[in-house]
Amino acid sequence: MTVMKNTLIILGSIAILSFTFSFTVRDNRILGRWNKIQKTPDGPLDLVFIFRADSTYDGIVNGKAFINGKYFIKNDTISVSDNSCNIAYYGTYRIKYFAQDSLSFTAISDTCKERYEGAHGLRVKKMQKK
Amino acid sequence: MHESEPASAMELGKLLFSDPILSGNRTVSCASCHKENFAFADTLALSPGVNGRLGTRNTPSAMNMRLQESFFWDGRASTLEEQALIPIENPLEMDLPVDSAIARLNSNAFYQQSFLRIFKENPSKKSLAKALSDFERSLETNNSPFDDWRVNDNEDAVSASAKRGFKLFNTKAKCIQCHFGPDFNNVEFRNIGLFDGRMHVDSGRSAITHKKSDLGKFKIGSLRNIAVTAPYMHNGMFKSLKEVIDYYDNPDLIIPKAMNRDTILIRPLQLTDTEKLDLENFLISLTDRRFLK
């Protein structure tokens, strides 16, 4: 009986361990849609970024798809490659989650000028599911 | 208020856009060349203005102007307000001094009162430009099968061929290096090899900047609704998307002695027939639903 009990305890702690393990290693907080509304003299720019579980992402402005690429995340660093520049090249940004539902990007290194201008200092807010 | 009375600068601009009152002999309006059914472009290589006079450049789409930073093939206008009055004065297009256009609007009771109601002032250069440009800013399209695919994750919105075409567009065919952004044109001027100083003599951007390095450079065409705006390029020389793709595949076959052609286009792309078709299907997927039958 004690053998059985011990086994149960061990199995139980493995379950708890692997649960916390998967939680810390697979950080899924980026998944979903993020939004930023930017005011310009010509009216608002409505930016949406979609990060998918298959490691692809898209950028959308005023409902128009304009950027499409791949990303991966390690700890607080995201690597991104997309069609704004050479798609074989990855730029890196530090990501920081803040204020419950917000996310910011700070450049670590990115020689792609177009992307750097849009992404460095970018702050976006999580969108609620429709 | 009467039903047809415009309620905003945009609605007023819409009426003015298709009213020949803004042309010298009252026969030509903006809409004569920028035809709604063809994404506000023309189906002719060169569009006739007053008395059938022909200009030298193809009429581009007047849609999706909001995010543009320069206007006309050579970028000679930098705001929509500035752009809007230029065709009115152009002797080859509407041929009416802007001051005369303003005088006409002031002596037309309907317009005079509409301007007064909307702008709290009589028709002026500034309010005319504002009305026309507000209308242009309203002509945004973001509901193409391509957008549906990317924005709504609708995998069935475009065909497998169009998806392959998008990949080619971003890689082997190199289109993305110039056609980048929400309207598939970045803000630059580039030379794709349509200037040889002999048969093809429009020098484009350099006539504005007077820089030799700008010789033969033109505004990169937007690709939204491109399937409905044939013919193509600043001179309207290509009748179909197929011709455009064949050109990019090997420009030397069509214009062998081009001057100052961009180095991206230095070598033939060597696209296969299937790849060309895939690219074409991708371009067709950029057509807004309102133009799809």
**A42, A48, A87 ranked by CB distance to B66: nearest:** A42
Q: Which residues of A touch B168 (CB under 8 A)?
A: none
Encode A70-96: b = buried (16+ Cβ within 10 Å), e = exposed.
Answer: ebebeeeebbbbbbbbebeebbebebe
A-chain CB neighbours of B180 within 8 Å are: 66, 83-84, 114
What pTM, to 2 d.p., does this model score?
Answer: 0.92
| Domains of chain B with bracketed CATH | 9-137 (1.10.760.10), 145-284 (1.10.760.10)
Chain B CB within 8 Å of residue A41 CB: no
In chain A, residues with a C-beta closer than 8 Å to the C-beta of B142 are 62-64
Neighbours of A42 (CB within 10 A): 14
Q: In this complex, do B66 and A63 lie within 8 Å of one another by their Cβ atoms?
A: no
Nearest CA to CA, how far is B184 from chain A (Å)?
8
Helix (H) or strand (E) holding A66: strand A64-74
Rounded to a whole number, what is the distance in Å from the CA of A43 to chain B's nearest CA?
A: 9
**Number of helical (H) and strand (E) elements in chain B, helices listed first:** 11, 2
pLDDT digit string, tens, across residues B235-274 = 999 999 999 999 999 999 999 999 999 999 999 999 999 9
Contact A45, A38 (CB under 8 A): yes
Domains and their CATH numbers in chain A: 32-126 (2.40.128.640)
Average pLDDT of the residues of chain A: 85
pLDDT digits (tens, 9 = 90+) for A113-122: 989 999 999 9
Question: Which residue is closest to B182 within chain A, CA to CA?
Answer: A66
Sign of the alpha-carbon torsion through A48, A51, A54, A57:
positive
Tell me whether residues B180 and A43 touch, CB distance under 8 A.
no
Asked if residues A36 and B60 have their Cβ atoms less than 8 Å apart, the reply is: no
Question: Given pLDDT bands bounded at 50, 70 and 90, which one contains residue A83?
Answer: confident
pLDDT digits (tens, 9 = 90+) for A15-57: 554 444 444 456 789 999 999 999 988 788 999 999 999 999 9
Q: Are A64 and B176 a contacting pair at CB < 8 A?
A: no
Judge residue B274's burial from the number of C-beta atoms within 10 Å of its C-beta, 0-12 exposed, 13-18 middle, 19 or more buried. exposed
Query: Three-state DSSP class for B144?
Result: coil
Both tokens of B277, joined, read 């078709």
Structure-model confidence comparison of residues B44 and A84, the more confident one: B44
Position B183 confidence tier, pLDDT thresholds 50, 70, 90: very high
Nearest-neighbour CA in chain A from B25: distance (Å)? 34
Contact B182 A68 (CB under 8 A): no
Q: How many CB pairs under 8 A join A and B?
A: 49
